[in-house]
Amino acid sequence: MTSHDFLKELDIHAENLGVYYGQWAGSGSVYTSVSPIDGKPIASIKQGTKEDYDKILSEIEKSTKIWQLTPAPKRGEIVRQIGEAVRAKKEPLAKLISLEMGKIYKEALGEVQEFIDICDYAVGLSRIFNGLVLPSERPGHVILENWHPLGIIGLITAFNFPLAVSGWNTAISLVCGNCQIWKGATTTSLVTLATQKIIASVFEKNKLPGAICSMISGSGATIGELFIQDKRLSLISFTGSTDIGRRISSVVHSRFGRTILELGGNNAVIVMDDADLDMALRSTVFGAVGTAGQRCTTCRRLVLHEKIYDEFVGRLVKAYKTIKIGNPLEDSTVCGPVHTKNAVKDFLHGLKTIQEQGGKILSGGKQLEREGNFVEPTIVEISHDAPIVKEELFVPILYVIKVKSFEEAVQVNNEVPQGLSSAIFTSSQRNAFEWVGPSGSDCGIANVNTGTSGAEIGGAFGGEKETGGGRESGSDSWKQYMRRVTCTVNYSKDLPLAQGINFG
């Protein structure tokens, strides 16, 4: 086991059990988590099996009514305590994220804060779930709209935000009155485990069944398949690739279940000739290099107006040369490693394909000769219609594309199959409002004078097209975790029919 004091603070041992449903268990194979920083083992976790899964669901079903009948503000109080418990472990959790996932410590602190913030948001939400009171056409009648919990939620999260995305779903779903079973990414099993231990401690302290918020570790091919086939899970929330999301959608909807899908992104930043170039440059570098290009909202395409193209590219290449690549736990590091050895292979293979399709490397382009999974953040000049540009390479490769007009820039933004995040830098009010209007960006996130990354918890997060159409976090995303009931109440002594029908 890697020697780090913060692992002890999080109750992570050399060997750990990876199943929780009110008690800890695990009867499957052992997975050893390794750090992308140096490839060395951190700790191991005993994964779950189908038998463990069945036991979890049995315990959840016993707990469902208890949680549903707990008043929403009291559910909010439990989520408040979860947020405070995470806050108390903010620094060790962030260090674990850096160690196991690879993002720099400053970004990891922000991810933990995002979990805390969504808990705060959910606490307030627990007191203001609002249905409608509608006028009835029948005298002595009123129409009410009620919202009820769905029941049991299946949550499958990805490696790149192993804490924050679980929080978006968990905090909101819990205050809505649902129980849940969570499977985090295998390669960030220790972050999942540490988070679950914090959550479990709150339920146990409040003498509530731990199964309300359960966890199982294991591969997606086995455990994930159990999730999507199980009719007891009313909703599957999945963050990951478009290919896997397509299968999940097909299977879950075939059994009339619900999905929240957060899939591929291929996000563009447009910089017009009237933009504040200093601001656009800072935003682009952060959006393209942050988390080593492994955010769903990473800036992958930089669309530049021809009048500022040469100047901006020159400044961008100069900025890339100052980026310090290294250990994400060191304060001076700007870019840590990519997450796995396979990501390094994707980086190298992607660059080979890019060059075969006419792309020109302007900066970077190499794997670093050192321990761990380190590559150089890379800038590539390429045509917008090169086939590789339509794909999502989940590594730090940024395409720069030249356009002649605002209209052409919007066309380039919209021509890829993904539709998560997008941004424009401009001083033109007309451009800005056309961009956020129906004929502008076709993405779920359309920003003006700020980059593609850095979504806040108050707004709904998600995208269109092959991004899946799901929405998580703020706004009215809570409605996805509940079922709507329309209730007509007759408080009169008569029984009039709607539409003026006279029956008998």
| Residues known to be catalytic | 262, 296
Assign 19 to helix, strand or coil.
strand
DSSP letters spanning 169-208 = HHHHHHHHT-EEEEE--GGGHHHHHHHHHHHHHHHHHTT-
Q: What angle do CA 341, 345, 349 make, to 5 degrees?
A: 170
Q: Which residues contact 84 (CB under 8 A, 6 or more apart)?
A: none
State the burial class of residue 67 (Cβ atoms within 10 Å of its Cβ: 0-12, 13-18, 19+): buried
Q: Quick one: three-class SS letters along 227-260? A: HHHCCCCCEEEEECCHHHHHHHHHHHHHCCCEEE
Contact call for residues 248 and 225 (beta carbons, < 8 A): no
Residue identified by tokens 């009648």 is 141
Assign 361 to helix, strand or coil.
strand
Q: What angle do CA 466, 169, 68 make, to 5 degrees?
A: 130
Token code pair at residue 174: 């819990």
Q: What angle do CA 282, 392, 337 make, to 5 degrees?
A: 60
Gap between the Cα atoms of 56 and 458, Å rounded: 32
